[in-house]
Structure 1
Amino acid sequence: MNEPPFIVGKPVTGEYFINREELAKLKTLLSGVASGKINNVVVLGLRRTGKTSLLVNVAGHITTESDKIIPVIYDCMGTSTKSMFARQFIGTVLDAYVQVSGDRAYKQKLSSVVKNGLEWAEKHISEFEGGVAEYVKFRIKLRELKDEEDELLRRALKYPEDLASTKEVSFAIMIDEFQELLKWRIDFLKMLRTIVQSQKRVAYAFTGSAP
């Protein structure tokens, strides 16, 4: 039987996805996070060679095979500022957790806390569980630190580990088109490396495209 054609455009899944060996390797590496084996991976390649499709298929397989690993795909394309990345990244992690775990009560609790106002939340923050506390801290800093984007970025990158520890799950976070963030230079990469290496419940895959 002939292999299905490579399709350019939307992510390819099912019978049209042909990179089975790469899929198996990446899934195995990222799934190790559930047993404490942290493998952070970088995937480089030319544009339109199937990197996004690879991530989508890996996420699908992880979701099917484990209810303790939350796959997250964040697309950096169009991300212009650090604060934009921080807001979108933390929202993507939250939505992925709720979708895979079915824990809608957690998101409802966050909404309830925020509705009471950030001043109220700040006074009661010691009463919240870790995952809620870190989210509230981020929202507070989002309001206060308009000119301190690095701090927003740091708090957003720490959120998955805090949520994973609170909920006793692990995250496999796949950051697509990572080259879009390289405009933030060496200080950003140093921060990212420090945070990524400190996390025990989060594994990362970064994909990048050549010009």
Structure 2
Amino acid sequence: MKSPFEFGKVIESNSFIDRTDEIEHLKVNFQSGINTILISPRRWGKSSLVQKAGKIIESENPKIKVCKIDLFGITSQKVFAERLIRSVLMKSSSKFEEWLNIGKQFLQNIIPVFSIGVDPNSDFTIKFDWQSAEKNIEDILNLPENIGKKKDIKFVICIDEFQNIGNYPDSIAFQEQLRSVWQTHQNTSYCLYGSKRHLITDLFKNQSMPFYRFGDIIFLKKIDKKHWMHFIPASFKETGKEIDAGLTEEIVDLMQNHPHYIQLLAHHVWLNTGRKVTRVIVDSSMKEIMDYYDMVYSREIEGFSNHQISYLKAIAAKEEHLSSKETILKYGINTPGNLTRTKQALEKKDILDFFDKTPQFVDPAFELWFKQKFPA
């Protein structure tokens, strides 16, 4: 029997929970040609949300083409450009011959080389000489806009892990180039998001950065608890199993309304349940997850300084006045100056998030593990 709970991938099935307001917001932006920046901590479902909204808008309006590009592992402008061309061409037409014709018409200064295998959707690649392409980069960046004008269609270019452009050579110059071209587009809009909230936020809210005020910034919130309280019992019931409201709430609370980890824990509970969920099953399922991640988390904190561990202990203990003399002395955090460096280091390591300036663990399972290993 298939588990009703999904995690660790883009969710497209019935496991996609709520987000009706956010979907409507994205749909309006996509239809209106408004650039969108989606911000939240990692694994809150940004990619699934964009995928869902994109599919709905394409089904409702065939003249809107939603392209998705993932910058994970892409470390250069050259590969970025190749992925952009490939995604736009494949959305512009289903015919390889038309891809070639469009390439010849709009990329004639670059002379790209196209290759195709048995399955065009997976075996279609584009290569070109970067020295030549770099001199004509605006031809590449204007490709969706030019195709859109010619075919009377609109493109929405959705770019995941967009913060990775900050690691490219001459990153600021490249960002300035992107901004200067993209802000002129009328038939193309952009939806930019990524898993490093603090880096994405800096790209778009820092006045010194090229993408400052580039578009509509949406801060994704946690899914309301009431939706999980309905979804989890209903999913158990549909598969011939049962869980009561109290244990459902315990799963949600343990994982702090975090979509990925709620589905993870619910999946383990479901696997371990024959007919009806008991507290013993929830506890043993939680222990399975802690045991599984023990080595991963242990390796993750190997390089942490004593000050960083002490600061995390204070966060885990829900200390409210982290910079007070009492807290600093109690946990051996040292000085306020050191505290600032510690916060920055833990945010950079993606351990803590300072949403609304309140420090929170990015990973609720890590927080539970940390409390076990390092009691205050």
Between Structure 1 and Structure 2, how many residues are aligned? Answer: 178
Contact 2:38 2:193 in 1 (8 A): yes
Q: 1:24 to 1:110 in 2, by over 3 A?
A: closer
1:139 aligned residue (94, 107, 111): 111
Residues in 2 aligned to 1:54 and 1:110: alpha-carbon distance in whole angstroms: 29
* Alignment correspondent of 1:190: 176
When normalised by structure 1's length, the TM-score is 0.75
Residue equivalent to 2:11: 12
- Please list the CA deviations of residues 100-145 of structure 1 after superposition, one character each: whole Å capped at 9, or x if unmatched: xxxx2xx31443x6xxxxxxxxxxxxxxxx77411333325974x5
Equivalence map 1:144-159=2 (5 Å): 145-147=129-131, 150-151=134-135, 153-159=137-143
Q: Which amino acid aligns with 1:15?
A: N
- Structure 2 residue 97 is the aligned partner of structure 1 residue 108: yes
Superimposed CA distance per residue, residues 7-43 of structure 1 (whole angstroms, 9 cap, x where no aligned partner): 42111124221222211111111111xxxxx311111
* Shift in Å, 1:153: 4.0
Say whether 1:88 aligns with 2:77.
no
Q: Deviations over 1:36-90 (max 9, x none)?
A: xx31111112111101101110111011100111111111111121111111110
For the structure 1 residues 41 and 10, does the alpha-carbon distance in structure 2 shift closer, same or farther, using more than 3 Å as the test?
Answer: same
Structure 2: state its 5+ residue gaps.
114-126, 197-349, 351-376
Distance in 2, matches of 1:170 and 1:48, equals 29
1:70 aligns with 65
From the superposition, tell whether residues 57 and 109 of structure 1 become closer, same or farther in structure 2 (CA, over 3 Å): closer
Q: Which amino acid aligns with 1:139?
A: I
Indicate the RMSD between aligned Cα atoms, in angstroms: 2.3
Which residue does the alignment assign to 1:31? 31
- Unpaired runs of at least 5, structure 1: 33-37, 114-129
What's 2:155 paired with? 171
1:97 matched to 2:78: no
After superposition, the Cα gap between the structure-2 partners of 1:49 and 1:170, relative to the gap in structure 1 and judged at 3 Å, is same
Among 17, 28, 38, the residue aligned to 1:43: 38
Identity percentage of aligned residues: 26
- Is the CA contact (8 Å cut-off) linking 1:164 and 1:170 kept in structure 2? yes
Bigger relative contact order, structure 1 or 2, given CA contacts below 8 A and separation 6+?
1
Task: Report the 3-state secondary structure (helix = DSSP H, G, I; strand = E; otherwise coil) of the residue aligned with 1:139.
Answer: coil
Asked if structure 2 preserves the Cα contact closer than 8 Å seen for 1:131 and 1:166, the reply is: no
